[in-house]
Structure 1
Amino acid sequence: MTFTDKLRKFFANFLNTIGGWLLKTGISPNTITITGVIFNVAAAYFIATGSLRLGGLIVALSGPLDALDGTLARLKQNNRPFGGLLDSVADRFSEMAIMFGLLLYFFGRGHLLGVILVFAALTGSVMVSYVRARAQSLGCDPKIGLLTRVERYLITSLCLLFAQPLAGLWVLAVFTYVTVFQRIWFSWKELH
C-alpha cells in the first residue's frame, strides 16, 4: 500500500462526509478539479511575487480538493473517463504553475541555482507521471516510488510555508529522478 493509499484510507471518513455535503449542493467533480487549478495558479502568482508563505498556504489549502473531486465522483457514481483525464491534466498543470511561480521568483532575484533546481524538479516530476502513464498503456501500473504526487505536494507546500523553497527543490530535484528509476525498474520487471 502506497503512502497515498494510506492517506486516503486514513481520511476516508472525513472525505466521504465533505463529499456527501458537496453531493447535496449539486457541485460537479469537474468543478472541484478546476477550482483546485485556479487556487494553484493564484498560489503561483503569490510565489512569483515573493509571498512564499501565502503561496504555500494556498497550495496547502488546495491539496484536499485533489482528493475531494475523486471522492465526489465516486459518491455520485460518476466515474467517467473524462473526469479522470481532466484530473490528471489538472494535477500536471497545477504542479507546473507552482514551479513557474518559483522559476519567476528565483529568476527575478538572479538566483541561478534556484532556476536550475526548479527545472530539475519540474522535469523529474513530469517524468514520474509520464513513466506511469506510458507503462499503463503497456499493461502495468508502476504506482510506486518515493515521490508520488502526494509526497511532491506535501514537500512543496511545507517548504513554501516555511519559506525554504531551495530545500524543497533539492529534495524534489533528486528524489523525483529516484522515483523515475523505481518506476522504470518495476515496469521492466513486469513487462520483461
Structure 2
Amino acid sequence: MFSRRIQQRARQLVMYIVQPLARSGVTPNMLTGIGLVLSILTAVVIAQGSLVLGGWLVLFAGIFDMFDGAMARVQNAATTFGAFLDSTIDRYSESIILLGLLIYALQHPNVHDVVWPAPFEQGWMVTLIFVSVVGSLMVSYTKARAEGLGIECKVGLLARPERVILLALGLITGTGIWALALLAVLSNVTAIERMLAVWLSVRRSAHAQVAQSSRQQSHEQNDTSKPEQRHSIPYTTLNTGTDKNVQSNPRPLPSSVSPLNEGIKHE
C-alpha cells in the first residue's frame, strides 16, 4: 500500500475537481460510466502501439476512478448499488486495458521498445498478461468474498492503486514487460496474502469461540454445584440441633423397671 499522505493528497486534488462538477448536476454513476469509456479509449491507444500515451491515459483513468466515490460523498448520494457498480466497472476497466496490451503484443511478435532478455517476447507477454488478469481479479475477489463473510480484508502488497501506477510507469518508461512481470507475480502474491489473512482470522475466531464455550460450561457446572451445598448446610445444622435436643431432653424411663435392668443401671 502507498502511504496515506499520498492518498490524502490525491483525494484533496480530486475533491477540488469534483465540487464544481457536483453543482453542475453530474451524478456518481455518470462518472463511473465515463471512466469505463476512458478505459476503452486507453485500450485502443495501447493496441495501436502508442504505449507512452497509453501509459499516461492509464494513470489518468486511475485518478478519474476516484471521482465517482468523491462525487457520492460531496452530493451525499452514496448507495449500495453505486458501490457495487463502481467495483464491477473497475474490474471491467482493468481487464479491458490489459486486453489492449494483449492485442498490441499479438500484433508485434518482436517487441523492440521493451527490455527483456528472453528470445520469445510475444509468448512471454501473452503469458504475463493472462497471469496479471487472473491475479488482479483474484485480489478483488478475495477481498469481496471476505467482506461477504463479515471479515475485513485489506492486506496485501498490490491493491488497485499500486497496480495502476505500476502498469502506467512501465508503459511510459518503455519497460512494460518488466511491469507486467511484477504485476503478474505481486498481484497473485497479494491474493495469497489475503487468503492467509482470512484463514488466520477464521482460526482466531474459532479458538475464541471454543474458549468462550469452555468458560460457559465451567460457569454452568459451578452454578449447578452451588445449590447442593446450600441444601447440605441446613441439613447438617438440623441434625446437630436434633442431637442436642435428644441429649438435653432425655426420655424418662418407665416407672416399672425389671430388677435385671436396675442392676445393670447401678453397675
Q: Which residue of 2 aligns with 1:160?
A: 171
Structure 2: runs of 5+ lacking an equivalent: 110-121, 204-267
1:173 to 178, 184, 187: 184
- Distance (whole Å) between structure 1 residues aligned to residue 68 and residue 190 of structure 2: 26
Query: 2:193 aligns to what SS in structure 1?
Result: helix
- Per-residue displacement from partner, 1:22-54 (whole Å, max 9, x unpaired)? 111111111111111111111111111111111
Query: 2:22 aligns to what SS in structure 1?
Result: helix
Q: Which residue of 2 aligns with 1:28?
A: 27
| 1:112 and 2:118 are equivalent in the alignment | no
Q: Which residue of 1 aligns with 2:61?
A: 62
Q: Spell out the pairing of 1:94-113 with structure 2 (5 A cutoff).
A: 94-110=93-109, 111-113=122-124
Query: 1:3 aligns to what SS in structure 2?
Result: coil
Q: Is the 8 A contact 1:4 1:150 kept in 2?
A: no
Structure 1: runs of 5+ lacking an equivalent: none
Q: Which residue of 1 aligns with 2:157?
A: 146
Percent of residue pairs identical: 36
Q: Which runs of 4 or more aligned residues in structure 1 lie more than 6 Å from their structure 2 counterparts after TM superposition?
A: none
Q: Which residue of 2 aligns with 1:41?
A: 40
Closer, same or farther: CA 187–6 of 1 in aligned 2, 3 Å: farther
- Distance (whole Å) between structure 2 residues aligned to residue 128 and residue 113 of structure 1: 22
- Distance (whole Å) between structure 2 residues aligned to residue 145 and residue 35 of structure 1: 29
Structure 1 position 5, deviation (Å): 4.9
Structural RMSD (CA)? 1.4
Q: TM-score, normalization: structure 1? A: 0.94
Q: Which residue of 2 aligns with 1:90?
A: 89
Query: 2:174 aligns to what SS in structure 1?
Result: coil
- Distance (whole Å) between structure 1 residues aligned to residue 49 and residue 175 of structure 2: 12
Give the number of the structure whose alpha-carbon radius of gyration is greater: 2
- Distance (whole Å) between structure 1 residues aligned to residue 53 and residue 8 of structure 2: 29
- Distance (whole Å) between structure 2 residues aligned to residue 6 and residue 185 of structure 1: 28
Q: Which residue of 1 aligns with 2:14?
A: 15
- Distance (whole Å) between structure 2 residues aligned to residue 87 and residue 184 of structure 1: 23
- Distance (whole Å) between structure 1 residues aligned to residue 81 and residue 5 of structure 2: 26
**Relative contact order, CA 8 A, sep 6+: which one is greater?**
1
Q: TM-score, normalization: structure 2? A: 0.68
